[in-house]
Amino acid sequence: MEVDAVIEMFQRSEALHGLKYANYIGDGDSKTFKGILDAKPYENFEVSKKECIDHVQKRMGTRLRNLRKKTKNLGGKGKLTMKLIDQLTIYYGLAIRRNSNSLENMRNEIWATLFHKMSTDENPQHEKCSESWCEWKKAQATGSLDSFHHKPALSNEVFEAIRPIYEDLSRDELLNRCLGGYTQNSNESFNSTVWHLAPKNYSSGKKILQIASDIAVCNFNDGLINVLRIMKVMDMNIGPQSYNFCLETDAARIQRADRSLTDAAKEARSSIKASRKENEEEFSNLEGQLYGAGIAD
């Protein structure tokens, strides 16, 4: 169904909007893009595939967690902890976002983040690091390296284990599709607005889903104030309380969105997530000590 819907969107783009879609932004599912190529919606004009960089970032986290799960003695204190996996995943995503116009810079910074984590006072490996985020480079620029000390470094054992993952996720073929820094955020945000009105856990017919989609478009573009316009078309009485409610709700939504984009909010979310990961790991390690074959012998 999804493949057919996307193909139809491409096939009617010229008739409806007078344009051709040059790119398809995917999330790793090859079936949809293959369907577009097979359908040839624009005859000799070929559609290119771009990756949603949020989904590419998630691949790093998934690959590292799977490696930790299946490799004995790779997890635990001083090794590939869940907190470290989160850090490496975030650094990988930032390397792509910060260099979305240059494949070479993107690849260099991906590897720079890994060697940055391996650096020690005796062997600093910051050649490819940027002064914008590397504390060692900042200390070097201000002449304060004598007082700078590295945090505990990534072990060679962990480095050799995760190196193949970094090699695979820094291939030119993949990074080429990340150029431009495209995401599916707007699409997913709109979808969540639709499902808020017509939840997936309730059976909804085509009519209900169409109404939910129409209202979602109104809310997504202009906020709840559009609901009042819909009510007006339906000859419903609109009082001052309804009007004020819509204005206040829209203002609060925008304020929440702005607040969530601040550096402080981002740091707080990262801190909470990291703390939760540490607690989960402690419980997991404790459970491993309390439960196991022959533990009571």
CA–CA dist 182, 24 (Å, integer): 10
Distances (CA, A) of 234 to 57, 138, 179, 247: 46, 62, 47, 20
Looking at residue 114, what is its pLDDT?
92
CA–CA dist 257, 246 (Å, integer): 17
DSSP 149: -
Looking at residue 262, what is its pLDDT?
72
> Exposed, middle or buried by CB within 10 Å (0-12, 13-18, 19+), for 176?
middle
* This prediction's pTM: 0.75
3-state secondary structure of 200: coil
Q: What is the mean pLDDT for each group of 10 consecutive residues in the chain (297 residues)?
A: 86 92 83 89 90 93 93 81 91 93 94 92 89 88 89 89 95 94 87 87 86 88 86 88 89 82 64 60 51 43
3-state secondary structure of 206: helix
Looking at residue 294, what is its pLDDT?
43
CA–CA dist 180, 50 (Å, integer): 8
DSSP 198: S
From the centroid of its chain, how far is CA 280? 22
Looking at residue 1, what is its pLDDT?
65
Mean pLDDT, the chain, whole residue set: 85
CA–CA dist 145, 185 (Å, integer): 41
Looking at residue 293, what is its pLDDT?
44
Q: Answer yes or no: are the C-beta atoms of 26 and 1 closer than 8 Å.
A: no
- Please report, for the chain, the start and end positions of each structural domain, with discontinuous segments joined by +: 1-51, 53-182
